[in-house]
Homo-oligomer: A and B are copies of this chain.
């Protein structure tokens, strides 16, 4: 199978590498020139569960995708704010039958993808795999994970299941879901609580969990997500989702980690994805007439923090 990974950062590189190792023809596409250059010259260098791996994967700058390139599947793995630009740049790659699988963090990306891809070819999902970018061309890939995905197009369940099987052949542990929007909202609640709160308070997840007000803040934010989801006929099990979010506090598992938004903004002074997590809930809330003040305020605080650090 010919597969393009549109957005070859840490997670895109993981998927690209694993799909390549099981015999697929993989093309990496990215917008970061230094990263692209490194992989062109030295291959993708991965610490893959402790073993050093070098994979000679073809990679191209997204602005230099060739008209004659052709793939069966595109997996979207950009940062949320880079999605639309990526789709514009790779438009020539999206043919009548090209399947497009979106695995970005956050909510509502299908609104953008639909502008470029016919609905029947769109699959959305989320993943529990993790990955870390060590530097240009270098990734660190540890642990295990899974993928859930579903078709957006009517009658494409069989194709979605086939796509999941295809990914599982590479060890990606993918499953068809008949309720992917539930899973996406559930995961977005984790990001919508841990990311923004740890970033603003300058703490890791275990430290957040130890504060006297963490539970009240997490519960209020999850309730806002649930009210918005309910308008879309997705009924979150609120106590379960709150417990799921708060399981991140455990220092024995992932509590000592700083969430990705903290790493983006506080550590690396990069823009955050807040507009596609809490900000997406604010926009939907406005559209649906549902009040989402904690999501509004948290989005504003994170933007103010971006501004104060001069991140653009």
Contact = CB atoms under 8 A, between A and B. Distances in A.
Interface centre among A210, A304, A308 (most CB of B within 10 A): A304
Nearest to A200: B200
Contacts of A297: 217, 220, 293-294, 297-298
A305 interface: yes
Contacts of A200: 200-201, 301
A19 to B, nearest CB: 40
Interface in A283-312: 291, 293-294, 296-301, 303-305, 307-308
Nearest to A292: B293
A303 B213 contact: yes
A245 B301 CA distance: 18
Question: Which size bracket describes the interface of A in this complex?
Answer: 20 to 34
- Most interface-central of A197, A210, A211 (chain B CB within 10 A): A211
A308 B213 contact: no
A307 B301 CA distance: 19
Interface in A183-211: 197, 200-203, 207-208, 210-211
Nearest to A217: B300
Copy number in this complex? 2
A214 interface: yes
Nearest to A203: B308
A308 B212 contact: no
Interface in A201-254: 201-203, 207-208, 210-214, 216-217, 220
B304 A213 contact: yes
A62 to B, nearest CB: 28
A310 to B, nearest CB: 10
A208 B305 CA distance: 9
A291 B149 CA distance: 39
A212 B307 contact: yes
Contact of A293 (B203, B208, B294, B301): B294
A281 to B, nearest CB: 14
Contacts of A308: 201-203, 207-208, 210-211
A65 B170 CA distance: 79
15 contacts: A200-B200, A200-B201, A202-B202, A202-B308, A207-B308, A208-B304, A210-B308, A211-B308, A217-B297, A217-B304, A220-B293, A220-B297, A291-B293, A293-B293, A294-B297
Given A200-B301, A211-B304, A213-B303, 12 more contacts: A201-B305, A203-B304, A210-B308, A211-B303, A211-B307, A212-B304, A213-B304, A213-B307, A214-B304, A217-B300, A293-B294, A293-B297
